[in-house]
Structure formats: C-alpha cells, structure tokens
C-alpha cells in the first residue's frame, strides 16, 4: 500500500476556470496580428502544448513565418493583460492547499502553459508558499497527453507516481496523469464525467469542496 505524499495540479481549468479568457485573448491576438484562423479553438485542444495549438489554428506556414517563440510570447502577454485582476481559484482549492501543507503533502503544478503564465497564476492566487515546484510547457519537450509534465513534477518532488494524485480538467491531462502512473481526479470545468472517466479519472467532481482528505488518502492507499 502507498501513502499519499503529493498533489500535482494542472493549472488552466483546474486551479482557475480561465478557458474563456484563453479563447477571447487568442482571438484578439489573431485580430491584432491580422491572422485568419483555419480551425476553431475548441475544448479538444485543452491541455495541448501551445505550439501544437498554433499549428492547428493558423497552419505550419504561418507558424514558421512568425516563429513559435514570438507567437507564444505575444499571445500570452495579451492573455495575462486581459485576465489580470480577474483571477479566482476554483471553489475549495485554497482550503485543500492549506490542508495539504498542514499535513506535509507536497504540492506541484504541471501545466502545458508557458513559464510566465504559471508564475502569473501562482502570484495572483498568492500560493507561493504552498507550491513546492512547478513544471510548465517551457520546461518539457512533450505536451499532454504525453506523461512528461506530470512525471517531471513527481520526480522534482522526490516522490513516486503511486504516492501522488493528479488533478486535471482535460481529457489530454487525465491521459497524461494515468500514463505517468498517478491516480487522477477530474475537475468538471471543461469536460464531462463521461469524457474524463473514459480517459482514466478515478473520481470526477464539480470542484474541490466535494473532496475530503480521507477520501484522497484512500484513493492512493
């Protein structure tokens, strides 16, 4: 039997319900750049690496024309500017984080977002003293559903996958957590129970108020 020692949280849609801000800021950035999207920014792309999203949205030719670094930096700056001052945690998140800290459970963030976005959310939520480590899309080669992000977060905490729980809102993220060897809990902000359970989530909840520490410990044990 394993003992619960670590939580790994996805960021977008898990710590905060910000998908709407990503959609609005992405479309605003394309408008400013005078780029016409060739696909819709759908929930199927949630959790994917930003480079992959740009490839799908504007095509490889335009990506090569502007460069991924420029596209990502400029778009995410628009997102942070629009979202600043509006950041709110998912209900029950802060209570769970404080309880985890009091019990010595390590907490990490594993996000496909860029490093600047991760630091932005940590600062806006005021959780600098709770998060032990954070992995961003800037730190890895493979985006979700590849397990690299979560596997790296677990390794950075000095723990084993079976000692950790991954919290995710996206199908690609649940698949990544399962592939990393962790138990996964689905947060129902952007996907349905059927979608997340089908991807491998052990439990699906509306928000963190529906979870108790005993329940989480039993999931791992």
The model's pLDDT over 167-212, given as tens digits with 9 standing for 90+, comes to 999 999 999 999 999 999 999 999 999 999 999 999 999 999 999 9
Residues 91 and 195 in one domain: yes
Q: Is the pLDDT of residue 102 over 90?
A: yes
Q: Is the pLDDT of residue 1 over 90?
A: no
Which residue range(s) make up the domain with 73?
19-83
Tens digits of residue pLDDT in 46-79: 777 888 899 999 999 999 999 999 999 999 999 9
Whether the CB-CB separation of 78 and 4 falls below 8 Å is answered with no
Residues 93-107 have a mean pLDDT of: 98
| Domain edge (last residue) among 50, 67, 83 | 83
Specify the pLDDT at position 40.
81
The answer to whether residue 40 is domain-embedded is yes
| Domain edge (last residue) among 41, 67, 83 | 83
| Domain edge (last residue) among 55, 83, 111 | 83
Residues 190 and 98 in one domain: yes
Specify the pLDDT at position 202.
99
Residues 141 and 38 in one domain: no
Residues 42 and 105 in one domain: no
Written as six digits, the tokens of 13 are 């849609």
Residues 30 and 98 in one domain: no
Identify the CATH number of the domain in which residue 139 sits: 3.40.50.1000
The answer to whether residue 23 is domain-embedded is yes
pTM of the model: 0.91
The answer to whether residue 127 is domain-embedded is yes
Residues 191 and 213 in one domain: yes
The answer to whether residue 101 is domain-embedded is yes
pLDDT class of 42 with cuts at 50, 70, 90: confident
The answer to whether residue 113 is domain-embedded is yes
The answer to whether residue 1 is domain-embedded is no
Q: Is the pLDDT of residue 217 over 80?
A: yes
The answer to whether residue 190 is domain-embedded is yes
Q: What domain count does the chain have? A: 2
Specify the pLDDT at position 92.
99
The full 3-state SS of the chain, as one line of letters, equals: CCCCCEEEECCECCCECCHHHHHHHHHHHHHHHCCCCCCCCCHHHCCCCHHHHHHHHHCHHHHHHHCHHHHHHHHHHHHHHHHCCCCCECCCHHHHHHHHHHCCCEEEEECCCCHHHHHHHHHHHCCCCCCCEEECHHHCCCCCCCCHHHHHHHHHCCCCHHHEEEEECCHHHHHHHHHCCCEEEEECCCCCHHHHHHHCCCEEECCHHHCCHHHHHHHHC
Which of these, 11, 159, 29, lies nearest to 82 by C-alpha position?
Answer: 29
Residues 40 and 54 in one domain: yes
Residues 104 and 198 in one domain: yes
Specify the pLDDT at position 38.
86
Specify the pLDDT at position 50.
85
Residues 48 and 93 in one domain: no
Specify the pLDDT at position 188.
98
Tens digits of residue pLDDT in 121-138: 999 999 999 999 999 988
Q: Is the pLDDT of residue 4 over 90?
A: yes
Residues 160-164 have a mean pLDDT of: 99
Residues 135 and 183 in one domain: yes
- Only one residue has tokens 């998908």, namely 19
Residues 62 and 137 in one domain: no
Written as six digits, the tokens of 152 are 């790296």
Residues 12 and 23 in one domain: no
The answer to whether residue 58 is domain-embedded is yes
């Amino acid at each position: 039997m394993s003992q619960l020692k670590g939580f790994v949280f996805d960021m977008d849609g898990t710590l905060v319900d910000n998908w709407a801000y990503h959609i609005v800021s992405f479309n605003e950035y394309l408008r400013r750049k005078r780029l016409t999207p060739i696909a819709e920014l759908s929930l199927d792309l949630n959790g994917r690496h930003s480079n992959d999203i740009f490839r799908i949205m504007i095509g490889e030719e335009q990506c090569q024309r502007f460069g991924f670094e420029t596209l990502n930096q400029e778009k995410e700056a628009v997102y942070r500017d629009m979202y600043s001052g509006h950041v709110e945690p998912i209900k029950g998140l802060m209570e769970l984080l404080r309880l985890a800290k009091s019990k010595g459970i390590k907490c990490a963030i594993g996000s496909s977002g860029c490093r600047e976005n991760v630091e932005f959310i940590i600062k806006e939520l005021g959780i600098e003293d709770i998060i032990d480590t954070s992995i961003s899309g800037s730190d890895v080669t493979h985006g979700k559903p590849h397990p690299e992000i979560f596997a790296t977060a677990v390794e950075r905490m000095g723990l084993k996958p079976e000692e950790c729980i991954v919290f995710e809102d996206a199908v690609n993220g649940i698949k990544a957590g399962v592939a990393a060897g962790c138990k996964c809990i689905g947060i129902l902000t952007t996907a349905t129970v059927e979608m997340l359970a089908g991807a491998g989530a052990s439990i699906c909840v509306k928000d963190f108020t529906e979870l108790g520490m005993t329940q989480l410990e039993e999931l791992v044990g």
